[in-house]
Amino acid sequence: MAALLLVTVTACGPSGGSDQKSLLHERVFIGGKTDQPGFNLHAAHTDRGLEVDLANYLGKEIGFKSKFHDVISAKREQELKDGTSDLVIATYSITPDRKEQVDFVGPYLVTGQGFLIREKYKGIKTEKDVAGKIICTVEGSTSAVAQLPRGTILHIEPDYSSCVDKLQGGAVQAVFTDEALLYGFVEQYKNSKHPLKVAPGITSGLINRYGIGLPKGHTADCKKLLRALRTYLTEEWAADVKVQLQALVHAYPGDWENRFRPDPEDLNRYSSCET
Ligand code: GLU
């Protein structure tokens, strides 16, 4: 009887039957935002940004090669559920709603939200000024459901680069989303005809914590990723942020690590597994 029981337990796997085949095989397909400078920008056949650096580090530690493809905010849960993506690394905030559908490892970055405007624009100085303005944000994101002042006119696009195009063209007055993400666009457009800035002194809405998304039930993979992320945050994170998110670092001299680097305790608190 005891032997039989042992066989049954082993066949179910260490987590009582919920653990599935590993996602972290030789080539891992990652849903990313390939149009977000600073985090992940695909140009001239190369991917560049903090999330690319993170994926490479995880691959080196765990032993896989990553292959990014583009995913929009609204499709992230679906891609994980239907297996189009093994992982999602896409400025993807860990939220209670999303955690019901997918698992997360993180956070690897913490950010407030803000408004991206043209550098010379004087129309938005405080959050109240947003009322009556056309503000672009993205479908399926935490920014699209944030509380903005009454009278704000929301314009919704599938991705942030389309919002920034509209801002450049003058069709919207601001782009609203995570502050860290906006600084990537500030850097990209710094020498353009219409340089951009994050409206100073207005951080609105909720704190967003970026996590690596994975389909539910892969506890062993979750733990491997979490262990590797822990060392990434102490060994490489700061150097990578300095290179990839220069406008953010310049905006908060001496304080950017404090603001954007997650507390090590957050890792067990927000991840779907513990180490
Ligand atoms: N981090 C937020 C989210 O996951 C906004 C950025 C995005 O849409 O990727 O919804």
Contact indicator for 139, 75 with CB cutoff of 8 Å: no
Contact indicator for 195, 97 with CB cutoff of 8 Å: no
Q: Is 135 helix (H, G, I), strand (E, B) or coil?
A: strand
Q: Read off the pLDDT of residues 119-162 as tens digits, 9 standing for 90 and up.
A: 999 999 999 999 999 999 999 999 999 999 999 999 999 999 99
The first and second tokens of residue 14, run together, are 């260490």
Mutate to test the pocket of ligand 1, among 41, 98, 177, 179 (most ligand atoms within 8 A of CB): 177
**Mean pLDDT of the 202-210 span:** 86
Contact indicator for 210, 108 with CB cutoff of 8 Å: yes
Query: What's the predicted TM-score (pTM) here?
Result: 0.92
Contact indicator for 210, 65 with CB cutoff of 8 Å: no
| Residue minimizing CA distance to atom 5 of ligand 1 | 141
Rounded to the nearest angstrom, the gap between the alpha carbon of residue 22 and the centroid of all alpha carbons in its chain is: 23
Q: How confident is the model at residue 204 (pLDDT cuts 50, 70, 90)?
A: low
69: CA distance to ligand 1 center in Å? 17
Residues with Cβ within 8 Å of residue 35, at least 6 apart in sequence: 41, 42, 70, 159, 160, 161
The answer on pLDDT for 7 being more than 60 is no
Other C-beta atoms lying within 10 Å of the C-beta of residue 34: 22
Contact indicator for 174, 196 with CB cutoff of 8 Å: no
The answer on pLDDT for 103 being more than 70 is yes
The candidate with the shortest Cα–Cα distance to 135, out of 165, 121, 156, 150, is: 156
Q: Read off the pLDDT of residues 58-80 as tens digits, 9 standing for 90 and up.
A: 999 999 999 999 999 999 999 99
For residue 36, which atom of ligand 1 is closest to its CA?
9
For residue 140, which atom of ligand 1 is closest to its CA?
10
Contact indicator for 134, 173 with CB cutoff of 8 Å: yes
For residue 141, which atom of ligand 1 is closest to its CA?
10
For residue 142, which atom of ligand 1 is closest to its CA?
10
Q: What is the percent of the chain where pLDDT is above 90? A: 88
Q: Read off the pLDDT of residues 168-188 as tens digits, 9 standing for 90 and up.
A: 999 999 999 999 999 999 999
Length of the chain: 275
Mutate to test the pocket of ligand 1, among 40, 80, 181, 206 (most ligand atoms within 8 A of CB): 181
Does the beta carbon of 92 lie inside 6 Å of ligand 1? Answer: yes
Q: Read off the pLDDT of residues 15-57 as tens digits, 9 standing for 90 and up.
A: 344 557 899 999 999 999 999 999 999 998 899 999 999 999 9
Pairing of strands 134-138, 153-157: parallel
Q: Is 204 helix (H, G, I), strand (E, B) or coil?
A: strand
- Res 219: pLDDT: 96
Write down all domains in the chain, each with its CATH number in brackets: 22-110+209-270 (3.40.190.10), 112-206 (3.40.190.10)
Instruction: Kindly list the distances between the CA atom of residue 153 and the CA atoms of 9, 126, 134, 172, in Å, as whole numbers in the listed order.
Output: 57, 16, 5, 9
* Residue 80 dihedral angles phi and psi, to the nearest 5°: -75, -40
First-residue to last-residue Cα distance in the chain: 33
Other C-beta atoms lying within 10 Å of the C-beta of residue 155: 17
- Res 44: pLDDT: 87
Contact indicator for 174, 136 with CB cutoff of 8 Å: yes
